[in-house]
Amino acid sequence: MVHLANAGWRRPLRTVVIAAALALFSGAGSASAGDAPQPGGSPAATSGDARADPKPTDPAQNAAPDRAALCGGVDLVRALKLSDPAGFDRFESAARSVANGQGLLWRIEGQGSKVSYLFGTMHSSEPVARSFDDLVLRALGRARVVATELPGASSRRVAAELRRLVGNRSFRPEGNSLGALPDDVRPQVEARLGQAGIPPAVAEQLQPWYLALSLSRSNCVPASAGVDVETADGRIERLAVEQGAQLVGLETPVEQVEALASVPDDVALRMLRDATVKRLRPEDVESTITGLYSTRRIGYLLAMRGPAWSGVFDVDGYADFISAFITRRNHTMLQRALPILATGNAFIAVGALHLPGENGLVELIRRAGFSVTRIW
């Protein structure tokens, strides 16, 4: 049982929503520091794997024991429940009011169309992500059309395209990427980026969103490292092909990378500052996301505001980020999903953070005239 004294675990919550979306809910979020252009326009050396971790500048950080010691993140929502039960109760009450905040599988019915399904995934190869409930498998098995965000996102071809696009968009010709940081914080941020394999001279010429993305990546080596384990989305796509369903995409690589690049500089710099000064651990973020996903409560992320998180985290402060990275994409996905839903017999699988909220896909599909019912 995890118990953290003095509520020190609360500090990383300022960036949970951003890190959640960048690190776990975006196909484009798999690019590494090695994908970015270097000063003078020459690309950094890469391993050829779009998901490879950046090479740390400190050789000691290559040691497996050191990296392993960083693993085992804290589920921050669970930690709140243990350290502040009253605060957790208030938080949970607010979280339950998030529109469509609970549930991962939804039945969609329209006049004259056959039943379709909407499923929230976690873009990961971890067992919790790719081990589907029987209800999900049965819904998928009925589909004649299967739509995912970006078919083949984990394939070498698409990964290479994402890597190229991220590299093109991550360079900042005018430089001074960290210029808006306070003087007492900037050296710390530069040191933290250096540990991630990005020296100050390079960081100055990279976009803040890219630098923030680099620090959102976990230092842990998963048990499946070096093994070609399919992701949840990859499994859905494979099953779709095996059953003879038509596989379609709701986004393009360009659109996914443009969404990342639209994250406001001030939000990205805030993430860099908090990740450095407050020693945000991506492992804690991942554990929190995994805990919420495994209990089908991903919408709780959108409720981290008000008294329960006073002085700790305020999701309203990241409204611009959510609008740019989630809401805008939801509307694009909706427009491409509507013709599919009008016919029916479809299975739509998107990152789970696209489902909840007033501007989530569940609510947007309802407003388009369909009946949407949670079934799991």
pTM comes to 0.80
pLDDT band at 364 (very low <50, low <70, confident <90, very high): very high
Least confident of 28-37, 89-98, 346-355: 28-37
Contact 103, 376 (CB under 8 A): yes
Q: Mean pLDDT throughout 125-134?
A: 91
Q: Mean pLDDT throughout 355-376?
A: 97
Does the pLDDT of residue 54 top 70, yes or no?
no
Give dist(CA 196, CA 193) in Å, integer: 5
Residues 6 or more apart from 134 whose CB is under 8 A from it?
A: none
Does the pLDDT of residue 1 top 80, yes or no?
no
Quote the crossing angle between the two packed helices 76-83 and 85-95, to the nearest 10°: 130
Contact 100, 328 (CB under 8 A): no
To the nearest whole number, what is the mean pLDDT of the chain? 79
What are the start-end ranges of the E strands in the chain? 105-109, 116-121, 145-148, 246-249, 346-351, 371-374
Cβ atoms within 10 Å of 181's Cβ, excluding its own: 19
Contact 349, 85 (CB under 8 A): no
Q: Which pLDDT belongs to residue 318?
A: 59
pLDDT, tens only, 149-207? 999 887 889 989 999 999 999 999 999 999 999 999 999 999 999 988 999 999 999 99
Residues 6 or more apart from 112 whose CB is under 8 A from it?
A: none
Q: Mean pLDDT throughout 89-116?
A: 94
What are the start-end ranges of the E strands in 180-336? 246-249
pLDDT, tens only, 269-282? 988 887 787 665 77
Q: At 250, is the secondary structure helix, strand, or coil? A: coil
Q: For tokens 């085992």, what's the residue? A: 72
**What b-and-e string marks burial along 285-321, b requiring 16 or more CB atoms within 10 Å of the CB?**
bbbbbbbbbbebbbbbbbbbbeebbeebbebeebeeb
pLDDT, tens only, 253-300? 999 899 889 888 988 898 888 778 766 577 877 888 899 999 999 999
User: Which residues, in sequence order, are bridge partners of residue 148?
Assistant: 249, 349
Give dist(CA 8, CA 123) in Å, integer: 29
Q: At 280, is the secondary structure helix, strand, or coil? A: coil
Does the pLDDT of residue 238 top 80, yes or no?
yes
Element (H, E) at 236: helix 232-242
Give dist(CA 156, CA 37) in Å, integer: 20
**Three-class secondary structure assignment of 167-197:** HHHHECCCCCCCCCCCCCCHHHHHHHHHHCC
pLDDT band at 138 (very low <50, low <70, confident <90, very high): very high
